[in-house]
Amino acid sequence: MLAGVPSAPARRTAFALAATLAGPAVWLARAAWGLPTALGASRREIRPWAAGSPQFSEGRFHNRVATPALPPASARRGLLRQMHEERHTGLPARPVPLVRPEPPAEAGDLAVTWYGHSSALLEVDGRRVLVDPVWGSRVSPSPLIGPTRLHPVPGPLEELPPVDAVLVSHDHYDHLDLPTVRRLLRTQTAPFLVPVGIGAHLRGWGVPEERVVELDWEQSAEVAGLTVTCTEARHFSGRFLTRDTTLWSSWVVAGPRHRVFFGGDTGYTPGFAAIGARLGPFDLALLPVGAYNDAWKHVHMDPEEAVRAHGDLGGDLLVPVHWATFNLAFHRWAEPVQRLCAAAERSGTRVAVPRPGERVDALAPPPVRDWWSAVGSLVDEPDAAGDAGVGSSVAARAASWLLARRQLD
């Protein structure tokens, strides 16, 4: 053997070691692919736009009522236990029923098509407004890590009719999705109306300046005959380790005859009553009902609080959003709408609960039909007692995905 030349066994060992190390390296590279862009604008890039806001001080945005940034110490141990033991509780046991969207040629007087989670297409006095559009498969900056869909998108983004405005409530990944923004740039010409600071994300992603409208709470813009007002919410923002660098909001869409409130993502706040007094009453309100937990009760409403907020706003018809599509908390999959319907019945609140993709005429809503109980929660299935485990949850989700796709074919 020549000096300095490794033997055949040594070469095989080196190749095997290299191959072993290459697998994780490739996975990490894929997981981090596009990460800097997906994270959005930096604090330095956002600050010039944020500094003039009354909600901005000491380097970050604030809620108008005291809102703890972290759960109390007494709740943290329970939260860690839930993360370990109950992380699969929110998975559906069977496919979520979908409806292939069929928007009318002309926008109606007052209607909503729910696409899942907080994504919806509003029709207000003959105009269309798209809210919190998320068509991506994963709500995360990474293509490999983070919550994935529990059901497919009911219809392709490219099949949406022309919209007059796109509203974004805040910059969390389940409400502001980079792949969706890029597709909307190609398929739509409408402006993006966003809370202060989020424009920096959009500009960095290639959205032209003329398509970015940044508003602070209580500021309005006229779009295609609609008055769109940025209104208070009780939440937070952030796409990585830094928090509250951009503002969060709810939205009011007012036409000549009808008014709609979109809650986005929010905890309960007395500010709802002020919004209702100033801008209401509302013919239709879309309010978040899911992803609640005692550990973050100040920033996510539970279903009973959503009904209370609806009353504060002076709402007529309530359509629940922020549930069913992503597993973001530890409650059972159908629990949010079950609790909502019970609370609505006690208070006499009118509700409509569409399936993903279903259009509701808010002026003649259909009777509530329970389609969610048949879906159920995976954790309640006889063969999923205890912790179902990652393997079984992934298998169940894959089966649900394939069966749901058949519904759309």
What was the pLDDT predicted at 67?
94
> Cα–Cα–Cα angle for 202, 31, 77, nearest 5°?
90
The sign of the dihedral angle between the CA atoms of 100, 169, 281, 337 is positive
User: Hey, which bits of 48-160 come out as E strands?
Assistant: 56-57, 60-61, 110-116, 119-124, 127-131
Residue 210 pLDDT exceeds 50: yes
Inter-CA distances, 399 with 313, 371, 389, Å = 41, 19, 16
d(CA 60, CA 243): 8
Q: Which two tokens stand for residue 405?
A: 């796709």
Q: Any alpha helices (H) in 167-257, and if so which ranges?
A: 178-187, 198-204
What was the pLDDT predicted at 401?
44
Q: Which two tokens stand for residue 217?
A: 């709470």
d(CA 371, CA 355): 8
Domain assignments of the chain as residue spans, ordered by start: 110-376
What was the pLDDT predicted at 142?
83
Biggest CA pair distance of the chain: 90
Is pLDDT larger for residue 409 or for residue 311?
Answer: 311
pLDDT (tens digit per residue) in 106-161: 999 999 999 999 999 999 999 999 999 999 999 998 877 889 999 999 999 999 99
300 CB-near residues (< 8 Å, 6+ apart): 265, 266, 267, 288, 291, 292, 293, 329
Residue 385 pLDDT exceeds 50: no
113 CB-near residues (< 8 Å, 6+ apart): 101, 103, 120, 121, 354, 357, 358, 359, 360
d(CA 157, CA 134): 9
Residue 16 pLDDT exceeds 90: no
Residue 217 pLDDT exceeds 90: yes
Residue 316 pLDDT exceeds 50: yes
Residue 47 pLDDT exceeds 80: yes
Q: Does domain 110-376 have CATH number 1.10.8.60?
A: no
Q: Strand 119-124 vs strand 192-195: parallel, antiparallel, or unpaired? A: unpaired
**Eight-class DSSP state of 158:** G
Determine the average pLDDT of the residues in 248-262.
Answer: 98
Percentage of the chain with pLDDT > 90?
A: 75
On average, the pLDDT of the chain sits at 87
Determine the average pLDDT of the residues in 80-91.
Answer: 67
Residue 79 pLDDT exceeds 80: no
